[in-house]
A and B are shown apart, each in its own frame.
Chain A
Amino acid sequence: MIEVDRIGKSFGSVEVLKDVSATFADGEVVAVIGPSGGGKSTLIRCINGLERLDRGDIRVDGRSVRNHAALKAIRSSCAMVFQQFNLYPHMTVLANISLAPTVVLKKPRAAAEAKARELLDMVGLGDRAGAYPAQLSGGQQQRVGICRALAMEPRHLLLDEVTSALDPEMTAEVLTVIERLAKAGTTMILVNHEMEFARRVADRAIFMEAGRVVADQPIRQFFGNTQDPRIQRFLTKMTHQRSEADRP
């Protein structure tokens, strides 16, 4: 379980997170959505310690993120998939996936590589184990990123706008993988722009605007919301954009 307890974070003079609180139970799939600049990415980057908190605390499975010694354990249990993939360009796909398990979890090389191949098969990239990241398409790279995260057998999966750098065809292949993971019961915190996808896959939605949590509701309730004007505004904007994009 991840508890976010009244956290605040500023970058210079800009206050990106203002008094944010939330709880993420095990096995939940939570979609964090909202307009850009709302602090969504910053929130999940605070969870695994990539950004340091100014105020408040986050406890991952009881361990505080502010405790420097616990950070390694926290990071092994929360795996992240990045918007810009951030694969290691000088290593093969197989090495990318097996690096963290061998170094952090001290798994033997053979076991780590076997697991890596298994994961690659699962996402449909079984034959690309020896390829380098630059030889893969964007969608393939992101799928490798997901494998890399899953190789750590994490309790929580943090997905930071993982399809934003992909064009529509590649987006679909990645979303398929994520959907499969969601159904399998992994805890996932999804920061994403794909509204339809969120509605299909997530259990809960957290709507953030201007650094605050505006709404934290079960998914059906969120999308059926007719009261809160901010949510209304956001949803209409999103659906408008959607229909614009779908026009031939």
Chain B
Amino acid sequence: MSSSHQDAVDTLLLAGAALAAGGLAVVAPWEVVFAATAVLLAAKAAGRIGPGATAAVALAMALGWLRAADVVRRHEAERADANASMGPPARCSGRARVESSPVRVRDVLRWDAHLDKVSCDGRPLAWRGRATLYGGPDDLARGDEVDVVATLASPQRLWNASSGDPRPAEALRDIVRSGGTLDVRTVRRASGVLSWIDRVRAGVRRRIDATFAVDVAPMARALVLGESDLAPDDDRSFRASGLSHLLAVSGMHLVLVMALAVQALEGLLTRVEQIAARVDAGRIAAAIGVPVAWIYAELAGAGGSTVRAAWMATAALLARALGRRTDATRAFGLSRFQQYRHVILPIAFRFAVRPLGSVFVNLVLTTSVLSTITINDLMSNAENLASETFRPFETYLVVLVLYWLATFAVSAVVNLASALWLRRSADRVAVR
């Protein structure tokens, strides 16, 4: 890449970053300005940026700032508008189109919708806009059109010293009304990919509720669907212990799952001669990985970090699918990192797979200790059963066998994974 070409790309990247930073400046103006100035000065000192590029970057930041301020202002105007036309909480009816993936909070679904043909307390209104609604059928999905009757009110705003300025975040969500529904009738069920994902989530939610006890179900839902509505006690405990992150399906989960899935798919495809002989199976696997990453992100609740991770995974997978090696590190010229990624870590990982597997197996067994702090695992259920039926020997014997089965299954999976992973016999010899 010629150096002028490279400079142009550098400038574009910086300008893009400045645009985003400008948006951030609405919330924290002094910090952003300070950081931007520092970055530009450093770049100038390193000789990596010329005066023209500096001007372009500053301009981009100003644009971003202005645009963000504009969005906030418009949202405030809409809010005032809605308040004026609708007044105090009123019983309204209208046609709603579901626009966000429904999330379960306590016992009801929460979703954002675009309201149309609204009439409150009998009077039809000219107002149209987005609202957060609570309630509705379990399998509501994005794109559905429903007739609702709901009590709508202006959403509560909490603005104090510790919460910070809530306006930009609210402007992003663009909600001017919220309330609980009294009646929801489906007019048209949507049938796209997004609505399919939502219906799958609804199905998973149903299965979780059917399988787990009432006090554990929220944790299961948090782990699988990314719905964070733990009981306040549990929530506090997790936060106090610093383990909240465990319960979020975060970007790291996504990356790990996708990396595993794409590698496994590549391993499978290379075994099919017709494919492996003609094309680089890795590219096909990566290409398939892109939509899978997004579907997984959506299924797991499309939280902020998950979506960011999905974007990054898309970029890396697309690069691979298009035949380019995903050496983001080359852009930064960090060849030592490359060495790790291409040589040391793959080999090290191959050596580590077996011991990691046995650590994992050991972990499964150690979970039994959780029963002593009243977590409902296999062991505590066994204790309850033993004391209820007065047959401790049979109960614990069966539990012993169950744990053995569990470790057997886990070991089998680890062996299978390492066999697929170490597909070349040379690797197998090295690891032995």
Touch between chains A and B, by CB atoms below 8 Å: no
List chain B positions with a Cβ less than 8 A from chain A.
none
